[in-house]
Homo-oligomer: A and B are copies of this chain.
Amino acid sequence: MTETFSIRSIGLIGAGVIGAGWAARFALAGHDVRLYDPDPETGRKVAAVLDNARRAQTRMLGALLPREGTVHIATSLADAVADADFIQESLPEIETLKIRVLGEIEAAARPDAVIASSTSGLLPSRLQAAMAHPGRFVVGHPFNPVYLLPLVEICGGDATTAQTKALATALYTACGMQPLQVRVEIDGFIADRLLEALWREALWLVNDGVATTAEIDDAIRYGAGLRWSFMGTFLTYRLAGGEAGMRHFLAQFGPALKLPWTKLVACELTDELTDRVAQQSDDQAAGIGLRAYEQKRDDCLVDVMTALRANDFAAGATLGAYADRLAAQAAAAAGPVSAGPVSVIDGAPVLLATRVDAGWIDYNGHMTEWAYLKVFGDTTDVLLAQIGAGADYVAGGHSFYTVESHLRHLGQARLGEALRVTTQVLGADARRLHVFHTMTGGDGGVIATAEHMLVHVDAAAERAAPMLPAVADAVAALAAAQAGLARPDAAGRSIGLPARQA
Protein backbone atom coordinates (compact mmCIF):
# COMPACT_ATOMS: atom_id res chain seq x y z
CA MET A 1 0.00 0.00 0.00
CA THR A 2 1.36 3.43 -0.91
CA GLU A 3 1.89 6.09 1.72
CA THR A 4 -0.15 9.28 1.51
CA PHE A 5 2.65 11.55 0.46
CA SER A 6 3.46 9.27 -2.45
CA ILE A 7 0.05 9.76 -4.09
CA ARG A 8 0.90 11.41 -7.37
CA SER A 9 -1.77 10.43 -9.86
CA ILE A 10 -5.47 10.07 -9.29
CA GLY A 11 -7.99 8.26 -11.48
CA LEU A 12 -11.59 9.43 -11.56
CA ILE A 13 -14.53 7.45 -12.94
CA GLY A 14 -17.70 9.45 -13.62
CA ALA A 15 -17.73 13.15 -14.51
CA GLY A 16 -21.10 14.41 -13.34
CA VAL A 17 -21.36 17.28 -10.87
CA ILE A 18 -19.56 15.22 -8.22
CA GLY A 19 -16.88 13.64 -10.43
CA ALA A 20 -16.01 16.94 -12.09
CA GLY A 21 -15.96 18.53 -8.64
CA TRP A 22 -13.40 15.94 -7.50
CA ALA A 23 -11.28 16.69 -10.58
CA ALA A 24 -11.24 20.36 -9.62
CA ARG A 25 -10.61 19.69 -5.88
CA PHE A 26 -7.63 17.41 -6.60
CA ALA A 27 -6.13 19.47 -9.45
CA LEU A 28 -6.29 22.71 -7.46
CA ALA A 29 -4.50 20.96 -4.61
CA GLY A 30 -1.71 20.09 -7.05
CA HIS A 31 -2.61 16.53 -8.06
CA ASP A 32 -2.67 15.28 -11.66
CA VAL A 33 -5.94 13.51 -12.46
CA ARG A 34 -7.14 11.29 -15.30
CA LEU A 35 -10.91 11.22 -15.62
CA TYR A 36 -13.20 8.92 -17.59
CA ASP A 37 -16.86 9.27 -18.45
CA PRO A 38 -18.58 7.88 -21.55
CA ASP A 39 -20.45 11.20 -22.02
CA PRO A 40 -18.93 12.82 -25.15
CA GLU A 41 -19.52 16.24 -23.54
CA THR A 42 -17.22 15.39 -20.64
CA GLY A 43 -14.38 17.68 -21.68
CA ARG A 44 -16.57 20.75 -21.95
CA LYS A 45 -18.47 20.04 -18.73
CA VAL A 46 -15.36 19.41 -16.68
CA ALA A 47 -13.70 22.55 -18.07
CA ALA A 48 -16.71 24.61 -16.95
CA VAL A 49 -16.56 23.17 -13.41
CA LEU A 50 -12.78 23.65 -13.28
CA ASP A 51 -13.18 27.31 -14.33
CA ASN A 52 -15.68 27.88 -11.52
CA ALA A 53 -13.44 26.08 -9.05
CA ARG A 54 -10.28 27.94 -10.02
CA ARG A 55 -12.06 31.27 -9.73
CA ALA A 56 -13.48 30.41 -6.30
CA GLN A 57 -10.33 28.90 -4.82
CA THR A 58 -8.28 31.82 -6.14
CA ARG A 59 -10.62 34.24 -4.37
CA MET A 60 -10.23 32.16 -1.21
CA LEU A 61 -6.55 31.27 -1.20
CA GLY A 62 -4.97 33.53 -3.83
CA ALA A 63 -1.24 33.21 -4.20
CA LEU A 64 -1.16 30.35 -1.68
CA LEU A 65 -2.59 27.89 -4.22
CA PRO A 66 -0.02 25.34 -5.34
CA ARG A 67 0.88 24.77 -8.96
CA GLU A 68 -2.30 23.31 -10.48
CA GLY A 69 -2.30 19.63 -11.44
CA THR A 70 -3.32 18.51 -14.90
CA VAL A 71 -6.79 17.18 -15.75
CA HIS A 72 -6.63 14.61 -18.53
CA ILE A 73 -9.87 13.36 -20.10
CA ALA A 74 -9.17 9.64 -20.45
CA THR A 75 -10.34 7.64 -23.47
CA SER A 76 -11.38 4.61 -21.44
CA LEU A 77 -11.86 3.43 -17.90
CA ALA A 78 -8.54 1.58 -18.10
CA ASP A 79 -6.80 4.70 -19.41
CA ALA A 80 -7.99 6.59 -16.32
CA VAL A 81 -7.09 4.05 -13.63
CA ALA A 82 -4.17 1.95 -14.92
CA ASP A 83 -1.43 4.11 -13.40
CA ALA A 84 -3.44 5.69 -10.59
CA ASP A 85 -2.37 5.60 -6.93
CA PHE A 86 -5.88 6.57 -5.85
CA ILE A 87 -9.17 6.04 -7.68
CA GLN A 88 -12.46 7.78 -6.91
CA GLU A 89 -15.71 6.49 -8.38
CA SER A 90 -18.64 8.93 -8.78
CA LEU A 91 -21.28 6.99 -10.70
CA PRO A 92 -25.08 7.24 -10.29
CA GLU A 93 -26.52 5.80 -7.06
CA ILE A 94 -27.35 2.35 -8.51
CA GLU A 95 -25.82 -0.47 -6.48
CA THR A 96 -25.60 -2.99 -9.32
CA LEU A 97 -23.94 -0.43 -11.62
CA LYS A 98 -21.38 0.51 -9.00
CA ILE A 99 -20.57 -3.14 -8.23
CA ARG A 100 -20.06 -3.92 -11.91
CA VAL A 101 -17.82 -0.90 -12.56
CA LEU A 102 -15.79 -1.54 -9.39
CA GLY A 103 -14.97 -4.92 -10.95
CA GLU A 104 -13.84 -3.23 -14.17
CA ILE A 105 -11.72 -0.79 -12.16
CA GLU A 106 -10.04 -3.61 -10.25
CA ALA A 107 -9.29 -5.44 -13.49
CA ALA A 108 -7.47 -2.40 -14.91
CA ALA A 109 -5.90 -0.82 -11.83
CA ARG A 110 -2.71 -1.59 -9.93
CA PRO A 111 -3.37 -4.04 -7.09
CA ASP A 112 -2.17 -1.53 -4.47
CA ALA A 113 -4.30 1.42 -5.62
CA VAL A 114 -6.92 2.62 -3.15
CA ILE A 115 -10.45 2.68 -4.60
CA ALA A 116 -12.91 5.13 -3.08
CA SER A 117 -16.62 5.53 -3.82
CA SER A 118 -18.54 8.83 -3.70
CA THR A 119 -21.79 7.04 -2.88
CA SER A 120 -24.23 9.15 -0.88
CA GLY A 121 -25.46 6.25 1.18
CA LEU A 122 -25.02 2.76 -0.28
CA LEU A 123 -23.34 0.33 2.10
CA PRO A 124 -19.60 -0.23 1.50
CA SER A 125 -19.79 -3.87 2.68
CA ARG A 126 -22.21 -4.61 -0.16
CA LEU A 127 -20.25 -2.60 -2.74
CA GLN A 128 -16.98 -4.34 -1.91
CA ALA A 129 -18.38 -7.87 -1.48
CA ALA A 130 -17.46 -9.05 -4.97
CA MET A 131 -14.05 -7.33 -5.12
CA ALA A 132 -10.83 -9.33 -5.40
CA HIS A 133 -9.05 -6.97 -2.98
CA PRO A 134 -11.90 -5.51 -0.90
CA GLY A 135 -9.52 -4.23 1.79
CA ARG A 136 -8.54 -1.29 -0.40
CA PHE A 137 -12.13 -0.09 -0.88
CA VAL A 138 -13.61 2.78 1.14
CA VAL A 139 -16.43 5.30 0.85
CA GLY A 140 -15.37 8.96 0.62
CA HIS A 141 -18.67 10.80 0.33
CA PRO A 142 -18.28 14.50 -0.60
CA PHE A 143 -20.78 17.36 -0.92
CA ASN A 144 -21.50 19.68 -3.80
CA PRO A 145 -19.56 21.77 -4.74
CA VAL A 146 -16.79 19.31 -3.95
CA TYR A 147 -14.10 21.92 -4.68
CA LEU A 148 -15.37 24.17 -1.87
CA LEU A 149 -17.32 22.27 0.81
CA PRO A 150 -14.89 20.67 3.26
CA LEU A 151 -17.01 17.73 4.47
CA VAL A 152 -16.20 14.21 3.28
CA GLU A 153 -17.67 11.18 5.08
CA ILE A 154 -15.26 8.26 5.39
CA CYS A 155 -17.00 4.91 5.83
CA GLY A 156 -15.42 1.49 5.51
CA GLY A 157 -17.14 -1.85 4.98
CA ASP A 158 -16.48 -5.10 6.85
CA ALA A 159 -13.41 -5.81 4.72
CA THR A 160 -11.94 -2.29 4.54
CA THR A 161 -8.52 -2.04 6.20
CA ALA A 162 -7.63 0.68 8.67
CA GLN A 163 -4.76 1.62 6.38
CA THR A 164 -7.14 2.32 3.49
CA LYS A 165 -9.26 4.58 5.66
CA ALA A 166 -6.16 6.36 6.96
CA LEU A 167 -4.81 6.93 3.48
CA ALA A 168 -8.08 8.35 2.15
CA THR A 169 -8.38 10.54 5.23
CA ALA A 170 -4.85 11.86 4.76
CA LEU A 171 -5.36 12.58 1.06
CA TYR A 172 -8.64 14.43 1.56
CA THR A 173 -7.20 16.39 4.47
CA ALA A 174 -4.18 17.37 2.38
CA CYS A 175 -6.60 18.77 -0.20
CA GLY A 176 -8.21 21.06 2.37
CA MET A 177 -11.18 18.84 3.28
CA GLN A 178 -12.65 17.87 6.65
CA PRO A 179 -13.07 14.08 6.88
CA LEU A 180 -15.75 12.76 9.20
CA GLN A 181 -15.31 9.12 10.27
CA VAL A 182 -18.61 7.26 10.02
CA ARG A 183 -17.96 4.62 12.68
CA VAL A 184 -21.13 2.57 12.18
CA GLU A 185 -21.99 1.41 8.68
CA ILE A 186 -25.52 2.61 8.01
CA ASP A 187 -27.64 3.46 4.93
CA GLY A 188 -27.25 7.16 4.12
CA PHE A 189 -24.31 7.46 6.54
CA ILE A 190 -24.81 10.49 8.83
CA ALA A 191 -25.20 13.61 6.71
CA ASP A 192 -27.59 12.29 4.09
CA ARG A 193 -29.86 10.75 6.70
CA LEU A 194 -30.25 14.26 8.15
CA LEU A 195 -30.59 15.92 4.74
CA GLU A 196 -33.00 13.26 3.55
CA ALA A 197 -35.21 13.74 6.60
CA LEU A 198 -35.45 17.46 5.92
CA TRP A 199 -35.88 16.89 2.17
CA ARG A 200 -38.75 14.42 2.66
CA GLU A 201 -40.63 16.90 4.82
CA ALA A 202 -39.90 19.68 2.30
CA LEU A 203 -41.42 17.57 -0.49
CA TRP A 204 -44.52 17.00 1.62
CA LEU A 205 -44.94 20.73 2.14
CA VAL A 206 -44.85 21.28 -1.64
CA ASN A 207 -47.04 18.24 -2.27
CA ASP A 208 -49.70 19.45 0.16
CA GLY A 209 -49.60 23.01 -1.16
CA VAL A 210 -48.47 24.41 2.19
CA ALA A 211 -45.49 26.28 0.77
CA THR A 212 -43.55 26.77 -2.46
CA THR A 213 -39.94 25.76 -3.01
CA ALA A 214 -38.91 29.41 -2.64
CA GLU A 215 -40.79 29.80 0.66
CA ILE A 216 -39.25 26.61 2.02
CA ASP A 217 -35.79 27.77 1.03
CA ASP A 218 -36.42 31.11 2.75
CA ALA A 219 -37.53 29.26 5.89
CA ILE A 220 -34.02 27.79 6.02
CA ARG A 221 -31.66 30.44 4.75
CA TYR A 222 -32.95 33.38 6.82
CA GLY A 223 -33.02 31.31 10.00
CA ALA A 224 -31.52 27.99 11.04
CA GLY A 225 -29.33 27.80 7.92
CA LEU A 226 -27.27 30.74 9.14
CA ARG A 227 -26.56 28.90 12.40
CA TRP A 228 -25.93 25.60 10.64
CA SER A 229 -23.07 27.13 8.67
CA PHE A 230 -20.87 26.89 11.76
CA MET A 231 -22.80 25.06 14.49
CA GLY A 232 -24.86 21.93 14.02
CA THR A 233 -28.20 21.11 15.57
CA PHE A 234 -27.07 20.00 19.01
CA LEU A 235 -24.77 22.90 19.89
CA THR A 236 -27.43 25.30 18.62
CA TYR A 237 -30.07 23.74 20.84
CA ARG A 238 -27.69 23.63 23.80
CA LEU A 239 -27.46 27.42 23.52
CA ALA A 240 -31.23 27.69 22.98
CA GLY A 241 -31.60 25.99 26.37
CA GLY A 242 -30.12 29.10 27.94
CA GLU A 243 -28.34 28.88 31.25
CA ALA A 244 -29.87 25.45 31.95
CA GLY A 245 -28.39 24.02 28.74
CA MET A 246 -29.22 20.88 26.76
CA ARG A 247 -31.14 19.09 29.48
CA HIS A 248 -33.48 22.07 29.79
CA PHE A 249 -33.89 22.22 26.03
CA LEU A 250 -34.84 18.54 25.89
CA ALA A 251 -37.34 18.99 28.71
CA GLN A 252 -38.87 22.03 27.03
CA PHE A 253 -39.00 20.80 23.43
CA GLY A 254 -39.08 17.06 23.98
CA PRO A 255 -42.91 17.10 24.06
CA ALA A 256 -42.84 18.52 20.50
CA LEU A 257 -41.62 15.08 19.40
CA LYS A 258 -45.15 13.91 20.09
CA LEU A 259 -46.74 16.70 18.07
CA PRO A 260 -47.74 16.23 14.40
CA TRP A 261 -44.83 18.44 13.22
CA THR A 262 -43.54 16.02 10.59
CA LYS A 263 -45.27 13.60 8.26
CA LEU A 264 -43.09 10.68 9.39
CA VAL A 265 -43.66 8.87 6.09
CA ALA A 266 -41.89 9.14 2.78
CA CYS A 267 -43.59 11.18 0.10
CA GLU A 268 -44.56 9.49 -3.17
CA LEU A 269 -42.68 11.28 -5.96
CA THR A 270 -45.54 11.29 -8.45
CA ASP A 271 -45.31 12.86 -11.90
CA GLU A 272 -47.56 15.61 -10.67
CA LEU A 273 -45.27 16.39 -7.70
CA THR A 274 -42.23 16.29 -9.97
CA ASP A 275 -43.89 18.79 -12.31
CA ARG A 276 -44.83 21.05 -9.44
CA VAL A 277 -41.36 21.04 -7.85
CA ALA A 278 -39.69 21.61 -11.24
CA GLN A 279 -42.06 24.47 -12.12
CA GLN A 280 -41.69 26.17 -8.72
CA SER A 281 -37.93 25.75 -8.94
CA ASP A 282 -37.96 27.46 -12.35
CA ASP A 283 -40.06 30.30 -10.96
CA GLN A 284 -37.70 30.61 -8.01
CA ALA A 285 -34.64 30.76 -10.28
CA ALA A 286 -36.29 33.71 -12.03
CA GLY A 287 -34.46 33.09 -15.29
CA ILE A 288 -31.02 33.25 -13.73
CA GLY A 289 -28.90 30.60 -15.44
CA LEU A 290 -27.02 27.72 -13.88
CA ARG A 291 -23.54 29.23 -14.25
CA ALA A 292 -24.60 32.55 -12.78
CA TYR A 293 -26.17 30.80 -9.80
CA GLU A 294 -23.14 28.56 -9.38
CA GLN A 295 -20.88 31.61 -9.25
CA LYS A 296 -23.22 33.31 -6.78
CA ARG A 297 -23.19 30.15 -4.65
CA ASP A 298 -19.41 29.92 -4.83
CA ASP A 299 -18.93 33.62 -4.03
CA CYS A 300 -21.16 33.24 -0.98
CA LEU A 301 -19.44 30.01 0.13
CA VAL A 302 -16.00 31.59 -0.22
CA ASP A 303 -17.05 34.68 1.69
CA VAL A 304 -18.84 32.69 4.41
CA MET A 305 -15.82 30.39 4.92
CA THR A 306 -13.48 33.39 4.86
CA ALA A 307 -15.67 35.08 7.47
CA LEU A 308 -15.51 31.92 9.62
CA ARG A 309 -11.73 31.79 9.11
CA ALA A 310 -11.48 35.14 10.88
CA ASN A 311 -13.21 33.41 13.81
CA ASP A 312 -10.98 30.32 13.54
CA PHE A 313 -14.15 28.23 13.86
CA ALA A 314 -15.82 25.33 12.02
CA ALA A 315 -15.09 25.37 8.26
CA GLY A 316 -13.08 28.53 8.85
CA ALA A 317 -10.63 26.61 11.02
CA THR A 318 -10.32 23.93 8.32
CA LEU A 319 -9.62 26.61 5.73
CA GLY A 320 -7.10 28.36 7.96
CA ALA A 321 -5.23 25.12 8.61
CA TYR A 322 -5.14 24.38 4.87
CA ALA A 323 -3.88 27.89 4.09
CA ASP A 324 -1.18 27.55 6.74
CA ARG A 325 -0.01 24.24 5.28
CA LEU A 326 0.06 25.66 1.76
CA ALA A 327 2.05 28.67 2.97
CA ALA A 328 4.52 26.42 4.76
CA GLN A 329 4.91 24.23 1.66
CA ALA A 330 5.44 27.29 -0.54
CA ALA A 331 8.01 28.68 1.86
CA ALA A 332 9.83 25.34 2.04
CA ALA A 333 9.84 25.02 -1.74
CA ALA A 334 10.92 28.59 -2.39
CA GLY A 335 13.58 29.11 0.24
CA PRO A 336 14.71 32.64 1.07
CA VAL A 337 15.32 35.21 -1.69
CA SER A 338 16.97 32.74 -4.04
CA ALA A 339 13.63 31.85 -5.60
CA GLY A 340 13.21 33.92 -8.72
CA PRO A 341 10.29 36.32 -9.02
CA VAL A 342 7.22 35.34 -11.00
CA SER A 343 8.14 38.02 -13.50
CA VAL A 344 9.71 41.44 -13.63
CA ILE A 345 8.31 44.82 -14.66
CA ASP A 346 10.81 47.64 -15.33
CA GLY A 347 13.43 45.67 -13.47
CA ALA A 348 11.41 45.19 -10.26
CA PRO A 349 10.10 41.71 -9.40
CA VAL A 350 6.36 41.01 -9.38
CA LEU A 351 5.73 39.78 -5.83
CA LEU A 352 1.95 39.51 -5.99
CA ALA A 353 -0.61 38.77 -8.68
CA THR A 354 -4.31 38.76 -7.81
CA ARG A 355 -7.73 39.80 -9.05
CA VAL A 356 -10.06 42.47 -7.71
CA ASP A 357 -12.51 40.74 -5.38
CA ALA A 358 -16.24 41.53 -5.23
CA GLY A 359 -15.82 42.51 -1.57
CA TRP A 360 -13.36 45.25 -2.51
CA ILE A 361 -15.75 47.27 -4.64
CA ASP A 362 -17.09 50.58 -3.28
CA TYR A 363 -20.26 52.52 -4.06
CA ASN A 364 -18.56 54.05 -7.09
CA GLY A 365 -18.07 50.58 -8.57
CA HIS A 366 -14.31 50.85 -8.12
CA MET A 367 -11.86 49.08 -5.86
CA THR A 368 -12.18 50.78 -2.48
CA GLU A 369 -9.35 52.62 -0.72
CA TRP A 370 -8.58 50.12 2.01
CA ALA A 371 -8.39 47.25 -0.50
CA TYR A 372 -5.39 48.90 -2.15
CA LEU A 373 -3.62 48.93 1.19
CA LYS A 374 -4.64 45.32 1.75
CA VAL A 375 -3.06 44.27 -1.55
CA PHE A 376 0.05 46.35 -0.84
CA GLY A 377 0.21 44.90 2.67
CA ASP A 378 -0.06 41.37 1.27
CA THR A 379 2.81 42.25 -1.07
CA THR A 380 4.88 43.40 1.88
CA ASP A 381 4.13 40.05 3.53
CA VAL A 382 5.44 38.22 0.45
CA LEU A 383 8.61 40.35 0.58
CA LEU A 384 9.05 39.60 4.28
CA ALA A 385 8.60 35.87 3.67
CA GLN A 386 11.24 36.07 0.94
CA ILE A 387 13.80 37.68 3.25
CA GLY A 388 13.17 35.04 5.89
CA ALA A 389 10.86 37.14 8.06
CA GLY A 390 7.66 35.12 7.58
CA ALA A 391 5.40 33.30 10.01
CA ASP A 392 8.19 31.38 11.78
CA TYR A 393 10.16 34.56 12.32
CA VAL A 394 7.08 36.26 13.77
CA ALA A 395 6.39 33.24 15.96
CA GLY A 396 9.92 33.69 17.28
CA GLY A 397 9.05 37.16 18.55
CA HIS A 398 10.54 39.23 15.72
CA SER A 399 8.52 41.30 13.32
CA PHE A 400 8.42 44.29 11.02
CA TYR A 401 5.82 46.98 11.75
CA THR A 402 4.76 49.51 9.13
CA VAL A 403 5.16 52.97 10.65
CA GLU A 404 4.43 55.15 7.64
CA SER A 405 2.72 54.73 4.27
CA HIS A 406 2.18 56.97 1.29
CA LEU A 407 -0.35 55.89 -1.32
CA ARG A 408 -1.02 57.45 -4.69
CA HIS A 409 -4.05 56.54 -6.80
CA LEU A 410 -3.40 57.02 -10.50
CA GLY A 411 -6.16 54.90 -12.01
CA GLN A 412 -9.11 52.67 -11.18
CA ALA A 413 -9.42 48.95 -10.76
CA ARG A 414 -12.67 47.14 -11.52
CA LEU A 415 -14.18 43.86 -10.36
CA GLY A 416 -12.14 40.86 -11.53
CA GLU A 417 -9.34 42.97 -13.00
CA ALA A 418 -5.89 41.36 -12.83
CA LEU A 419 -3.50 43.24 -10.55
CA ARG A 420 0.26 42.81 -10.34
CA VAL A 421 2.47 44.45 -7.75
CA THR A 422 6.21 44.99 -8.14
CA THR A 423 8.44 45.92 -5.24
CA GLN A 424 11.63 47.95 -5.06
CA VAL A 425 13.73 48.22 -1.90
CA LEU A 426 14.67 51.88 -1.65
CA GLY A 427 16.89 51.59 1.39
CA ALA A 428 17.51 49.87 4.68
CA ASP A 429 19.51 50.16 7.86
CA ALA A 430 19.81 47.85 10.85
CA ARG A 431 16.25 48.55 12.01
CA ARG A 432 14.46 50.05 9.02
CA LEU A 433 13.29 48.87 5.62
CA HIS A 434 12.10 51.39 3.02
CA VAL A 435 10.09 49.88 0.14
CA PHE A 436 8.16 51.11 -2.87
CA HIS A 437 5.33 49.05 -4.41
CA THR A 438 3.88 49.70 -7.86
CA MET A 439 0.47 48.23 -8.81
CA THR A 440 -0.40 47.71 -12.44
CA GLY A 441 -3.87 46.87 -13.76
CA GLY A 442 -5.07 44.58 -16.51
CA ASP A 443 -3.74 46.81 -19.30
CA GLY A 444 -0.31 47.13 -17.70
CA GLY A 445 -0.78 50.77 -16.70
CA VAL A 446 0.17 51.90 -13.18
CA ILE A 447 -2.94 52.42 -11.08
CA ALA A 448 -1.42 52.95 -7.64
CA THR A 449 1.86 53.15 -5.77
CA ALA A 450 2.70 52.67 -2.11
CA GLU A 451 5.79 53.78 -0.26
CA HIS A 452 6.29 52.21 3.17
CA MET A 453 8.73 52.60 6.02
CA LEU A 454 8.92 49.44 8.13
CA VAL A 455 10.63 49.21 11.49
CA HIS A 456 11.97 45.93 12.82
CA VAL A 457 10.77 45.21 16.35
CA ASP A 458 11.17 42.92 19.30
CA ALA A 459 7.46 42.06 19.54
CA ALA A 460 7.48 41.14 23.24
CA ALA A 461 9.20 44.37 24.24
CA GLU A 462 7.24 46.29 21.58
CA ARG A 463 10.28 48.36 20.68
CA ALA A 464 12.59 48.74 17.70
CA ALA A 465 15.43 46.23 17.56
CA PRO A 466 18.03 45.23 14.94
CA MET A 467 17.05 42.56 12.40
CA LEU A 468 18.49 39.09 13.03
CA PRO A 469 21.65 38.55 10.95
CA ALA A 470 20.10 36.21 8.33
CA VAL A 471 17.33 38.69 7.61
CA ALA A 472 19.72 41.63 7.57
CA ASP A 473 21.88 39.73 5.09
CA ALA A 474 18.88 38.95 2.87
CA VAL A 475 17.82 42.60 2.94
CA ALA A 476 21.33 43.71 2.04
CA ALA A 477 21.51 41.20 -0.80
CA LEU A 478 18.15 42.35 -2.15
CA ALA A 479 19.07 46.03 -1.90
CA ALA A 480 22.38 45.34 -3.68
CA ALA A 481 20.62 43.41 -6.45
CA GLN A 482 18.27 46.35 -7.01
CA ALA A 483 20.88 49.09 -6.68
CA GLY A 484 20.81 49.66 -10.43
CA LEU A 485 17.07 50.42 -10.58
CA ALA A 486 15.99 54.02 -11.04
CA ARG A 487 14.47 55.60 -7.93
CA PRO A 488 10.71 56.16 -8.53
CA ASP A 489 9.87 59.83 -9.09
CA ALA A 490 7.11 59.60 -6.50
CA ALA A 491 9.37 58.38 -3.69
CA GLY A 492 9.67 60.88 -0.87
CA ARG A 493 6.73 62.88 -2.13
CA SER A 494 4.43 64.76 0.27
CA ILE A 495 0.78 65.81 0.06
CA GLY A 496 -0.35 69.40 -0.34
CA LEU A 497 -2.39 71.88 -2.31
CA PRO A 498 -0.50 74.38 -4.45
CA ALA A 499 0.99 77.04 -2.16
CA ARG A 500 -1.66 79.69 -2.81
CA GLN A 501 -4.41 77.56 -1.31
CA ALA A 502 -2.63 75.50 1.31
Contacts and interface: CB of A to CB of B under 8 A. Distances in A.
Interface string A299-315: 11101111110110111
A315 B191 CA distance: 24
Contacts of A277: 234, 246, 250
A399 B315 contact: no
Nearest to A186: B210
Interface in A175-227: 178, 180-184, 186-188, 190-203, 205, 208-211, 213-227
B210 A191 contact: no
Contacts of A216: 190, 194, 232-234
Contacts of A358: 310-311
Nearest to A279: B246
Given A255-B93, A494-B406, A305 B226 contact: yes
Interface string A448-476: 00011100000100100000000000000
A242 to B, nearest CB: 5
A333 interface: no
A212 to B, nearest CB: 9
B234 A230 contact: no
A296 interface: yes
A180 B221 contact: no
Interface in A252-301: 252-262, 264-267, 269, 274, 277-278, 280-282, 284-285, 290, 293-294, 296-297, 299-301
A129 B280 CA distance: 34
A445 interface: no
Contacts of A120: 253, 256
A325 interface: no
Interface string A365-404: 0001111111011000000000000010010000101111
Contacts of A371: 370
The residue among A92, A267, A305, A404 with the most chain B CB atoms within 10 A of its own CB is A404
Closest 5 CB pairs of A and B: A217-B232, A225-B228, A151-B223, A188-B261, A229-B229
Given A250-B274, A373-B407, 15 more contacts: A16-B242, A143-B223, A149-B227, A188-B262, A194-B224, A197-B200, A217-B234, A227-B301, A239-B297, A310-B359, A369-B402, A407-B407, A429-B497, A491-B495, A492-B494
